[in-house]
Chains A and B, each alone.
Chain A
Amino acid sequence: MTPSPTSELRRGLAVLCGVAIAAAGLVALTWQAAAPRIEANVQARAEAGLAAVLGNRVFDNALAATGHSPQSAAARAAGIERVWLARREGEPVAVVLQVATAEGYSGRIVLLLGLTPAGEVLGVETLSHRETPGLGDFIEADRSDWLSQFHGRGLGHPSAERWRVRRDGGDFDAVTGATVTARAVTGALQRALVYFEGHAPTLLAYRDPDPTHGTADPLTVP
Chain B
Amino acid sequence: MTSPSRADILRDGLWRRNAGVVQLLGLCPLLAVSTSAVTGLGLGLATLFVLTCTNLLVSLLRPVLVGSLRIPVFVLVIASLVTVVELVLAAWLPALDQRLGLFVALIVTNCTILARAEAFASRQPPGAALLDGLATGTGFAAVLLILGAARELVGRGTLFAGLDLLFGPAAAGAGLTLPVDGLLLAVLPPGAFIGLGLMVAAWRWLNLRPHANVAQAGAATPTGESHR
Contacts and interface: CB of A to CB of B under 8 A. Distances in A.
Contacts of A15: 61, 64-66, 69, 73
A34 B76 contact: no
Contacts of B87: 27, 30-31, 34, 38
B80 interface: yes
B184 to A, nearest CB: 5
Interface stretch (A117-125, A128-136, A151-159, A214-222): A128-136
B77 interface: yes
Given A34-B90, A38-B91, A133-B187, A16 B84 contact: no
Contacts, number: 72
A33 B90 CA distance: 12
B68 to A, nearest CB: 6
A160 interface: no
Given A37-B91, A133-B35, A23 B77 contact: yes
Given A20-B76, A30-B87, A135 B66 contact: no
How big is chain B's contact interface, by range?
Answer: 20 to 34
Interface stretch (A4-12, A164-172, A203-211): A4-12
A134 B61 contact: no
Given A13-B69, A15-B69, A135 B188 contact: yes
A195 to B, nearest CB: 28
Interface string B179-203: 0000010011000000000000000
A27 B84 contact: yes
A30 B84 contact: yes
B40 interface: no
A139 to B, nearest CB: 16
A24 interface: yes
A41 interface: yes
Given A27-B80, A133-B35, A38 B90 contact: yes
Interface in B58-110: 61, 64-70, 72-73, 76-77, 79-80, 83-84, 87-88, 90-92, 94
A23 B80 contact: yes
Contact of A34 (B67, B80, B88, B184): B88
A68 B35 CA distance: 37
A27 B68 CA distance: 26
Contact of B80 (A26, A38, A41): A26
Interface in A97-144: 132-135
Contacts of A34: 87-88, 90-92
A8 B184 contact: no
Nearest to B93: A41
A23 B76 CA distance: 7
A67 to B, nearest CB: 20
B156 interface: yes
A37 B92 CA distance: 7
A31 B83 CA distance: 9
A74 interface: no
A45 interface: yes
Task: Please indicate which of the listed interface residues B79, B90, B155 has the most CB atoms of chain A within 10 Å of its own CB.
Answer: B90
Interface of B: 35, 61, 64-70, 72-73, 76-77, 79-80, 83-84, 87-88, 90-92, 94, 155-156, 184, 187-188
Given A9-B66, A12-B68, A30-B87, 15 more contacts: A9-B68, A9-B69, A11-B66, A13-B69, A15-B65, A15-B73, A16-B76, A19-B76, A19-B77, A23-B79, A27-B80, A30-B84, A34-B87, A38-B94, A134-B184
16 contacts: A12-B70, A13-B69, A15-B64, A15-B65, A16-B76, A23-B77, A30-B84, A34-B87, A34-B90, A37-B92, A38-B90, A133-B188, A134-B155, A134-B184, A134-B188, A135-B184
3 nearest A-B pairs in the assembled complex, by CB-CB distance:
A12-B66, A12-B69, A23-B80
